[in-house]
Each structure stands twice: as C-alpha cells, then as structure tokens.
Homo-oligomer: A and B are copies of this chain.
Amino acid sequence: MKDVAAVAGVSLATVSRVVNDVPVDPVLAGRVQDAVTRLGYRRDAAAAGLRRANRSSASIGIVLDDVANPFFSAVHRGLEEVARARGVLIFSGSSDDDPALERDLALSFSAHGVDGLVIVPAGTDHRYLERERAAGIALVFVDRPPQRILADAVLTDNAGGVRDAVAHLLAAGHRRIGYLGDRSHIFTAAERLGGYLARGEESLVRMDLVGSEAAERGALELLQGPDPPTALICGQNHLTIGALYALRALGLEAEVALVGFDDIPLGGLVRPGVTVVAQDPVALGRHAAELLFARLEGDDSPPRRIVVPTRLIARGSGEIRPSDRMRS
C-alpha cells in the first residue's frame, strides 16, 4: 500500500480511502486505481482487521461434527451460501464428536480473529465461550442446543418428525411399531425417542445402537422375538441401513414396514423404496448463518431458537400394510 501511494503520488490514507470506497477526488482515485492494478496490489485483510474500529475480519468459523458427513457438509453448504453473499470467508473443522476438539477448534478460530462462530456442539458445557462472546464474537449453535450458556440455536424438529412417522404407520394400520435408536445421551437421539414414545410401546424400543451392524442385530432381535412388530422406525441413517439388511436377511422387506429418520442416498433405487423422514440440513445452515449475521449487525434481542420442520418422503417401505401372517 505504501508502494501504491508512492506510485500514485498520494498519501497512504488516500489509498486506504480508495480501497475502502470512502469518497475521494475522482482524479486521485483514478491514479490510485491505476497504481493498484499496475502493482497488482491487494489489501492484507488480516492487517486491515487489526486496526479497524470493530476489528472485523470478514470471516467466521464453523465447528462441525465431521466435514465429510453428508448431513454436516450440507449444513456447511447452507452456511456458505449466505456467507458468500456477504463476502465472508469460512474456517471449517471437524470435532469428531470430541468435546476437547470442539473447544480447541472454536478457540483457535477465535484466536484467528473470526467475527462469529457456528457450532455443532459435541461438549456439554459451553461456558468456555463466554469470554469469546464478551469479546463480541457472535455465537450460533446448530443441530444440538448449547449447554450452560445462552445462545441462538437452529434445530431440526426431531420429535415432530418421529411423531409423523408413527402417525403414518398407524394410518397404514400398524399397531405394533418397533423403534431403533442411537445412544440416548445424544440430544437428537433423545428427542426422537421422545417423539416415538408419545404413542409407541416401550417394550419395542432398542436404544444405544451405534452403527449399522448393531442396528441389524437390534432389528433381528425385535423381529424374531415373540409378538414381533409389523413396522419399524429407525432413528438414524446408519440404523436404517442396518434394519434394511436385517429385513433382507429374513426375507421380510415386503412384509414389514420401515420408516427411517434422515434421508438415505439412493433410497429410491432399493426395493421397496425407503420411506424416510427427511431433514433439511441446508436450511439448518442457512438459518444459522442468517442468525449469526443478524447478531453481527447489532441484533441483541434475547437468544432465539429456530426449529426446522422435517418432511416425510413416501417411497414404498413405509406404506406396507400389516400382513395377515404378522397380525396373527
């Protein structure tokens, strides 16, 4: 910038003004522009933020569970869409569901001067962010609510989605509906179980299933037990896949109804097509970013909680009616 000023024959301040479109004599502005292009000058964003009044860096940080997980990468995409429109850059990282990593990442981002933080929480105590917020960093939580700190959150309507699944199966005539769920200490897993229990039977629940193999075993247990369910609801992606394998192993894919939570790719190619309660991760990301930027622009209303609805996609497996064989 010093060089630009020298070449254009103006002061440092004038170059800064031109670069930040502060009104400047058109003649001088022209000279500066010429010098800028001639020297290929680009302003150092880090240094600029350092001195700026609000210390803003036009960057935010996002802590996801796993950037490579399609659900979270879709959230990432939603965030990116709205950040891009504002020329804001994104630091991203995966916590792998490790509270210590979540913390490290969030604080590293903060140390690098981000204006805001979007977090898919892994930890259960977010008081460590109190200081960042006091420093003016905006905070939004996604998919899971913050704990021990007050902050905005954008969540999926987990309970409502499962209630819809139950209602859908009930309407098809099912009376015995099984439920396969993830580790119950996980917020979303607990919420979904809650949605099931509103009208479901506790004895047909298998929780704390992690991974598709566990789900397959859980499903086999349920289906081979006495008085087996005529329909299954799976609380998560991988569990749905496990249940699919179990049904196939027993030759029951056309007999027992199945509704999965969270869409699965190629759900339409499998036979029968897999009926799911789909989430909208891109919307989750978009809402989170909008909340974040609103805070950055001065909105200081009380913490908000946005709940994104789910959508039931009927593809066949959820529309199977209870067979006579099973009902007997």
Residues of A within 8 A of B (CB): 40, 42-47, 49-50, 57, 59, 66-70, 73-74, 76-77, 80, 84, 87, 89-94, 107-113, 131, 241, 244-245, 248, 264-266, 269-271, 282
Contact = CB atoms under 8 A, between A and B. Distances in A.
Nearest to A108: B89
A77 B241 CA distance: 23
14 contacts: A44-B50, A45-B112, A45-B113, A46-B47, A46-B57, A67-B76, A68-B73, A68-B77, A73-B76, A84-B93, A87-B108, A264-B266, A266-B266, A266-B270
Nearest to A113: B46
B59 A80 contact: no
Contacts of A245: 269
A97 to B, nearest CB: 14
Nearest to A66: B77
Contact of A49 (B46, B68, B244, B270): B46
B59 A91 contact: yes
A59 B92 CA distance: 11
B131 A40 contact: yes
Contact of A265 (B73, B89, B265): B265
A42 B266 contact: no
A241 to B, nearest CB: 7
Nearest to A109: B89
Contact of A110 (B42, B50, B66, B84): B42
7 closest residue pairs by CB, A with B: A68-B77, A73-B73, A46-B46, A265-B265, A46-B113, A45-B112, A68-B73
A93 B91 contact: no
Nearest to A92: B92
Contact of A112 (B46, B74, B264): B46
A252 to B, nearest CB: 15
Contacts of A112: 45-46, 57, 59, 89
A57 B47 CA distance: 12
Contacts of A68: 70, 73-74, 76-77, 282
A113 B244 CA distance: 48
A67 B89 contact: no
Contacts of A59: 91, 112
B40 A46 contact: no
A167 to B, nearest CB: 27
Contact of A93 (B44, B90, B241, B248): B90
